Structure 1
Amino acid sequence: MDVAEATAVLTSARTAAKSQDRATTRAHAQAALSLLQPCFLPGMDDEWVHTRRLETEELELEALEWIARASLGLGSAELGPAQRAARELVARSPFRETGHRFLMEALAADGNVAEAMRVYDDLRVRLRDELGAAPAAEMQALHQRLLAGESGRRAVAEQPPAAALPRRLSPPERSIFVARGRELEVLRTAWNDARAGTRRLVLVGGEPGIGKTRLAQEFARSAYLDGTVLYAACQEEALVPYQPFVVARPLGRRLDAVRALAARTLQTSRRTGNRWDEWASRQLAARVCAVRGQHQRAVDLLDAALDIVVVGGAPYFELWVRPELARALCDIGRVEEAREHVDRCRTILEGGEDWRARAGMTAVAAGIVLAHEGRSSDAARVFAEGRALLARHRLIGDEADLLHQWGRSLAAPDRLDEAADLYRRHDVGRLWFERVSADRRQLG
């Protein structure tokens, strides 16, 4: 195995792909795949070996993607290599949607449309059952083309797709757009100026119900064809500083990345049998569902995560799960149940442990419950207390960062960067659990 050389060859494959040289792209990707065989230090299970092995596996998966992508671009004579590379991708990384997409395209181009549809359905069911998610927009579009009787193949993109159109600007059912042609033309003119390099800012004003949001939706749908559309709301009582700027990010792409992290963590749990990896994957997947508005699915995933820590006899970890479950329950109107989880957290905190950060997280959740009960002044007070506890909390190293990020992201679930970083380092939590378990065993 020569990781450095394989990395360099993969860089050459990317360069060839940019110039549409698919034969060279595939040749470099195949060479990189050969250089990465066999796996890194087989037979060794040290932590640093495992980390390095994951890095090399990611390089192998990228090489397989380039082989499948380039083979599809080379035409019908190369559909066999495309299918083989795509099937290996699906087998090795079943939550990685690119493998399913390449396999669907290759099968459809080879006349096996029904089998391509089955690949999509398998992916859809897996994402729904394991992560509470749906296939990405590009996968759904491919599925629709197959349903319409098209071959499914089109020019193979050499770059990843743009972020999805924000849900607020793409409702499932749109009202009829009338009598706003002039305003829409003003927006489109400003957009064309911006594309030409001249900065533009447009303010849309009017009485409530006059159609401001509907105008923005119509414009966003056309602008989305040529760029990335961001959406943010400036609420009168924001939960975090600079909330519009926190929210106004290409969430679609980041959500897919965080969901992929949850999927990889779940795969690790199945490979190792470690329930704490499963706990982490469930809770991270729930965060993605909450941001996407899939609140019932978020509750289901958090219930599963809570079962793991309760069965494991780890009240410490209940203080991670219950505050977020309380928020998710509030999102679907089950406020009484949410309050029960907050009360349980307070009972755990009465145990005398110095868990001030968990007290802060519990207070944040309590503030959310109070807000849903219409007790705005009490909510503001309790929420402020929780944030103050988090701000004053000081531990050592990763544990401090982990708790501070978790508490802040509980208040604003759109902070996916912090949530993803937390779960990348969830081993800190596992070490705490092992320490608590060891103490319990010593006490009999």
Structure 2
Amino acid sequence: MKVLVIGPGGREHAIIRSLLSDPYVREVHAAGGNAGIAQLVETHAVATDDPAAVTELAQQLESDLVVIGPEAPLVAGVADALRKAGIAVFGPSRAAAELEGSKTFAKQVMAAANVPTAMCRVATTGEEVAEALDAFGAPHVVKDDGLAAGKGVVVTSDGDEALAHAQACFDAGGSVVVEEYLEGPEVSLFAICDGRKAVPMAPAQDFKRIYDDDAGPNTGGMGAYTPLPWVPSGFVDEVMERVVQPVIDEMAGRGTPFIGVLYCGLALTSRGVRVIEFNVRFGDPETQAVLARLKTPLGGLMMEAAKGELDTNEQLTWSSQSAVAVVVAAENYPDSPRKGDPVTGLDAAEAVDGVHVIHAGTKLAEGRILSAGGRVLTVVGLGPDLEQARRRVYDGVGQVRMERSQYRTDIAARAARGEITPPQRTGALPVIGAES
């Protein structure tokens, strides 16, 4: 089949890389793209959040399947336009994409589906925020209700900082969701969904803060690793039973079936698994680590989901190796990242055993690769265990040259040392959602 992938980032580069290894995929094209994607497939300049423009391109290319990577085209209704034109799409409709487009909507769906999540209050004024902060106590969690590319959340013990973030969201015309803080290690789980059924992928853990030891502001993600040796037995089955399938059933019951990837951001608390957030697409940079281990052909899996034909009895197959992904970011990321710097040493990085480089914010100019975004590259290392994967990936990162770049040095370090232990459950898990 011929596949068109929509999106310009590291997630899309990783998806394309996997699709090209699928024996059932004969041709891949990219709408958007970056310097790394352009080295693999033909790229096409198009407004990726324009439903008509993307549909026209898919028709011109005679695409059998369109894979939509980022959240913005999904919320803009690109999948709806493609389906109306009779083209198979891996990605939810505009209505289903509200699971990410509105945190308030997601909370409503979780409440209706009896899915365990954090208590929350929706706020539109500073007074409402202050009341919610007092009610839940510190640490404070304040989330922009709309899309924020992974950077719209503040977790802080400083009440003034929490109020300031909420006010910035109000000034931009939005609202916020104030939540109770969920204590416990976080897990990302992708579920491939066909509107009625779902198949889980391997759990991963990402690192949102910009600096080592989880210091500094939230980013779109500075690294990830998989598998998670510390996750309790039966964890994935529990998430599928208590979170994913109820949400899939609820969305289908509303007449807005969910097709694509449901990203579940989860916390393992003393009261059990709780949902932190949903995304409606592959997470970045977890995708780079997860897909590096996937052995099941990705294109066939996506087409089955797009057609509503997932076989939930067929288990996905995975490499026994561990994968660690480290983001190389530009100076001043996540605020106002520096752009236009030459990026070199990529061949040397990929010459390291078990290492490959995924491009995110890069572009080609006069034969040179230049930085063009905040997260510029993700270096991925594979090894027989986390410690060796870490050693390889940081050997690869050390070969990359970009002026004033930054990266975390502690991705997967605690897991490799066996220092992560989920809290002991204290009793039955209550369902906690939005307050009345």
Q: Give the TM-score, by structure 2 length.
A: 0.23
Q: Select the structure that is richer in strand.
A: 2
Q: Give the TM-score, by structure 1 length.
A: 0.23
Greater relative contact order structure (CA < 8 Å, 6+ sep): 2
Larger Rg: 1
